[in-house]
């Protein structure tokens, strides 16, 4: 490189140094004047870009003038290099421009702990009579006889006739089995009455002050000076009192605003209760979430109560409708609650949340092929028992022992040993020490049903039939309290379980009597476990029915039973695939393959 070229490049660098110096001076002034703290991030970014482009402009103008007047040929490329640099800088600036803000949407049996107690009312009507009213209201019929029956029903339920028509319309929009009409109507009516009681307790009224000065002016116009003086003195006293309380007014205004927010939250939560009464669990969960957002930050317990009700709605959606996303939402909600209800401050609320978390984890883990969720469920339930002691809260302790037994039983099914199953039996039998038939008949029946399930799994791994016969006895005992009229879904679940153990016994016997009993139990369960109401439970019972039909088909010469089994399996598989229940998908696919292989072999004979 020649000496002249170095000299010219030195001039070039001198121009660049001048530009950098100007930038430094401008940037220093911006900092000295404290410009950036007053700007948004996007505006600050644009100001920096403006400084940079000003510097580039000064440098480019200087270099252009230099090239135009005195630049030698050897450095004629310099302005082009700077121009390329400017283009690259512009591209980089565009690529890293502040992002445009976008609006984002905020998120918003095994026993579950809930607040409140809506006791159902009794209805002395036959289901067919209620169904007739449901159909009449759905048709829009309004004859005098129908209106008289609605009036009679409203009197019996203790609500208005307009409310009864709303109840009947709700029943008409839902696929409620005939045997559940009376129970569901009674539940909706009880829920409605409880809601009205809570709404009546809300107090939105405010006092209004009189205008003393205006009255004094009227008195003066009329010439009543003594009265005017007295009124003015009263106004003066009121003003002085208001002045002395000026500092208190701000605090009172804050308290009033807080009360309004709390009242608005309570009202929003009632909308959630309405949604629960319509079996719209997702809408209920959203109402409870919005109610929690309205509660002032310092009112932790009120906020936690609404979040607990939200998680409960999501749990019911996931448990009853096979919605795994809702179960994940419930699990997240219970984890959030554990932070709001720490063990040190509210140990029993913390324990209730651990119990509910265990139930949600267990329900989701049962559908997954792995055991991680089930292990988490066991940990949560055992943590709950740290506060739910038998001496302190015996029935809550028994409830949690029951739920722990369920989780251990499902884990035991997936392990080769029997240690978990023996633990499950111990937990369930411990629960029955407090859950007696005389004290809590339905809870006793629930634990008897769960005990039967654990005995059945153990019995399947033993050569004898003693455990299986114990399981049959436990299920039949549960059905003594779990009647179809009283608790139809629990009755159907126990019928399904009874069918399972009868099927296992039938497989070990030479005859077909037990297998025929199993098929009858499954078909009875499916009358209540409909695809629309409880799709996953329906699918499980369809799979179990297929297994019993397949076992019968293996002992018969024809193919009718085997063909029925394949139809039942395929119906179950559709639901499990839709719910992404990986554990059950594998089981049913294996069942279909075995049944179809038997069919092909039978047809080749």
- In this structure, what token pair is assigned to residue 16? 């660049």
Element (H, E) at 194: helix 181-200
- What pLDDT, on the 0 to 100 scale, is given for residue 89? 56
Q: Could you give the CA distance from residue 367 to residue 370 in angstroms, rounded to a whole number?
A: 9
- Ramachandran quadrant class, 140 (left: phi over 0; alpha: psi -120 to 50; beta: rest): left
Cβ proximity of 330 and 362 under 8 Å: no
Task: Give the tokens for residue 583.
Answer: 């554990």
User: Which range (221-235, 335-349, 446-460, 508-522) has the least confidence?
Assistant: 221-235
The whole-number pLDDT of residue 155 equals 83
Query: Residue 211 burial (CB < 10 Å; 0-12/13-18/19+)?
Result: exposed
Task: Check if the beta carbon of residue 382 is closer than 8 Å to that of residue 355.
Answer: no
CA dist list (Å): 171 to 106, 176, 183, 293, 500:
32, 7, 11, 32, 32
Q: How far apart are the first and last CA of the chain?
A: 98
Spatial separation of the C-alpha atoms in residues 410 and 374, rounded to whole Å:
8
Model confidence at 267: pLDDT above 60 = yes
Spatial separation of the C-alpha atoms in residues 259 and 267, rounded to whole Å: 12
Q: What is the pLDDT of residue 334?
A: 97
Distance CA 70, CA 483 (A): 105
Query: Rounded distance, CA 428 to CA 184, Å?
Result: 30
Lowest mean pLDDT among 22-36, 194-208, 235-249, 446-460: 194-208
Under DSSP, the state recorded for 533 is T
Segment 7-34 mean pLDDT = 60
**Across the chain, what does the average pLDDT equal?**
81
Percent of the chain residues past pLDDT 70, beyond the cut: 71
- Give the residue from 454, 527, 532 showing the smallest Cα distance to 497: 454
Q: Are 194 and 118 in contact (CB under 8 A)?
A: yes
Whether 444 shows a pLDDT value over 50: the answer reads: yes
DSSP 296-330: -TT-HHHHHHHHHHHHHHHHHHHHHH--HHHHHHH
The pTM for the full model equals 0.56
With CA atoms as reference, report the closest residue to 192 among 154, 149, 159.
Answer: 159
Domain annotation for the chain: domains and CATH numbers = 3-95 (no CATH), 127-200 (no CATH), 514-605 (1.25.40)
Residue 162's pLDDT is 76
Contact in structure between 506 and 543 (CB atoms under 8 Å): no
Cβ atoms of residues 54 and 21 within 8 Å? no
How would residue 208 be classed by pLDDT, with cut points 50, 70 and 90? very low
Q: Is 330 exposed, middle or buried (0-12, 13-18, 19+ CB in 10 A)?
A: buried
Q: 126: exposed, middle or buried (C-beta count within 10 Å: 0-12, 13-18, 19+)?
A: exposed
Residue-level pLDDT at 582: 84
User: pLDDT tens-digit profile of 452-482?
Assistant: 999 999 999 998 999 999 999 999 999 999 9
pLDDT confidence bin for 11, thresholds 50/70/90:
low
- Residue 565: count of CB within 10 angstroms of its CB: 28
* pLDDT surpassing 70 at residue 448: yes
Helix axis angle for 582-604 and 560-578, nearest 10°, is: 160
**pLDDT above 60 (res 220):** no
Task: Inform me whether the pLDDT recorded for 426 exceeds 70.
Answer: yes
CA distances, 596 to each of 515, 522, 567, 591 (Å): 20, 21, 11, 9
Q: What is the C-alpha to C-alpha distance for residues 246 and 252, in angstroms, rounded to an integer?
A: 10
The Cα angle at residue 130 between residues 129 and 134, in degrees rounded to 5 = 120
CA atoms within 13 A on the CB side of 15: 19
User: How far apart are alpha carbons 427 and 355 in whole angstroms?
Assistant: 14
Q: Given pLDDT bands bounded at 50, 70 and 90, which one contains residue 128? A: confident
Whole-angstrom CA distances from 484 to 294, 539, 541 are 42, 20, 17
Is 242 in contact with 134 (CB distance < 8 Å)?
no
Interval 421-444 mean pLDDT: 96
Rounded CA gap, 149 and 240, in Å?
Answer: 65
Decide if 102 contacts 341 (C-beta within 8 A). Answer: no
Q: What is the pLDDT of residues 58-96, one digit of tens each?
A: 666 666 665 656 555 555 555 555 555 555 555 545 555
Tokens of 316: 């019911």
- Judge whether residue 202 has pLDDT over 50: no
Say which DSSP state 143 is in.
Answer: -
Of 200 and 43, more confident? 43
Confidence class of residue 178 from pLDDT cuts 50, 70 and 90?
confident
- What's the confidence (pLDDT) of residue 116? 40
d(CA 76, CA 387): 84
Contacts of 257 (CB under 8 A, 6+ apart): none
**Backbone phi, then psi, for 61, in 5-degree steps?**
-65, -45
* H-state helical runs in 322-346: 324-340
Q: Which helix (H) or strand (E) holds 428?
A: helix 419-432
**Which H or E run includes 471?**
helix 466-479
pLDDT at 27 over 90: no
Q: Which of 27-41, 387-401, 583-597 has the lowest mean pLDDT?
A: 27-41
């Amino acid at each position: 490189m020649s000496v002249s070229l170095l000299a010219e490049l030195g001039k070039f660098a001198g121009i660049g140094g001048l530009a950098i110096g100007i930038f430094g001076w401008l940037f220093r002034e911006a900092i000295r004047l404290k410009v950036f703290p007053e700007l948004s991030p996007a505006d600050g970014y644009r100001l920096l870009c403006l400084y940079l482009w000003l510097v580039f402009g000064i440098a480019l103008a200087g270099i252009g003038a230099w090239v135009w007047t005195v630049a030698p040929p050897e450095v004629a490329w310099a302005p082009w290099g700077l121009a390329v640099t400017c283009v690259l800088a512009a591209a980089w600036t565009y690529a890293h421009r502040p992002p445009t803000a976008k609006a984002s949407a905020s998120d918003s049996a095994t026993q579950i702990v809930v607040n409140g107690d809506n006791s159902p009312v009794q209805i002395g009507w036959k289901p067919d009579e209620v169904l007739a009213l449901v159909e009449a209201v759905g048709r829009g019929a309004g004859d005098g006889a129908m209106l008289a029956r609605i009036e009679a029903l409203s009197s019996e339920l203790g609500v208005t006739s307009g409310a009864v028509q709303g109840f009947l319309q709700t029943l008409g929009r839902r696929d409620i089995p005939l045997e559940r009409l009376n129970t569901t109507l009674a539940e909706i009516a009880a829920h409605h009455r409880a809601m009205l009681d809570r709404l009546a307790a809300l107090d939105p009224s405010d006092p209004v002050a009189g205008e003393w000065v205006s009255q004094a002016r009227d008195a003066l116009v009329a010439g009543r000076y003594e009265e005017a003086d007295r009124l003015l003195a009263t106004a003066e006293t009121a003003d002085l009192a208001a002045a002395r309380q000026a500092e208190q007014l701000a605090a009172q205004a804050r308290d009033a605003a807080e009360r309004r927010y709390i009242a608005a939250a309570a009202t929003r939560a009632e909308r959630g209760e309405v949604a629960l009464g319509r079996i719209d669990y997702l809408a209920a969960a959203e109402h409870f979430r919005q109610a929690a957002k309205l509660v002032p930050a310092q009112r932790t317990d009120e906020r936690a109560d609404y979040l607990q009700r939200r998680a409960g709605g999501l749990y019911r959606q996931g448990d009853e409708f096979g919605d795994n996303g809702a179960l994940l939402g419930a699990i997240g909600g219970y984890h959030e609650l554990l932070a709001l209800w720490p063990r040190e401050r509210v140990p029993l609320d913390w324990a209730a949340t651990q119990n509910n978390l265990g139930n949600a984890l267990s329900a989701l883990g049962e559908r997954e092929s792995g055991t991680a969720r089930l292990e988490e469920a066991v940990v949560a339930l055992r943590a709950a028992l740290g506060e739910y002691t038998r001496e302190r809260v015996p029935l809550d302790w028994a409830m949690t022992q029951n739920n722990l037994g369920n989780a251990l039983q499902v884990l035991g099914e997936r392990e080769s040993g029997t240690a978990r199953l023996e633990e499950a039996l111990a937990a369930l039998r411990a629960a029955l020490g407090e859950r007696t038939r005389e004290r809590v008949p339905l809870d006793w029946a629930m634990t008897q049903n769960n005990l039967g399930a654990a005995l059945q799994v153990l019995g399947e791994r033993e050569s004898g039939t003693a455990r299986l016969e114990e399981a049959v006895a436990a299920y039949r005992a549960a059905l003594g309290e779990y009647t179809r009229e009283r608790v139809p879904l629990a009755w159907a679940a126990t019928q399904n379980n009874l069918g399972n153990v009868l099927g296992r016994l039938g497989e070990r016997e030479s005859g077909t009597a037990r297998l025929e009993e199993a098929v009858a139990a499954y078909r009875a369960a499916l009358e209540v476990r409909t695809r629309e109401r409880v799709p996953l439970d329906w699918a499980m019972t369809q799979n179990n029915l297929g297994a019993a039909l397949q076992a019968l088909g293996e002992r018969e010469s024809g193919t009718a039973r085997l063909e029925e089994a394949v139809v039942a399996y395929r119906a179950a598989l559709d639901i499990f695939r839709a719910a992404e229940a990986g554990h059950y998908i594998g089981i049913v696919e294996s069942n279909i393959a075995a049944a179809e292989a038997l069919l092909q072999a039978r047809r080749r004979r």
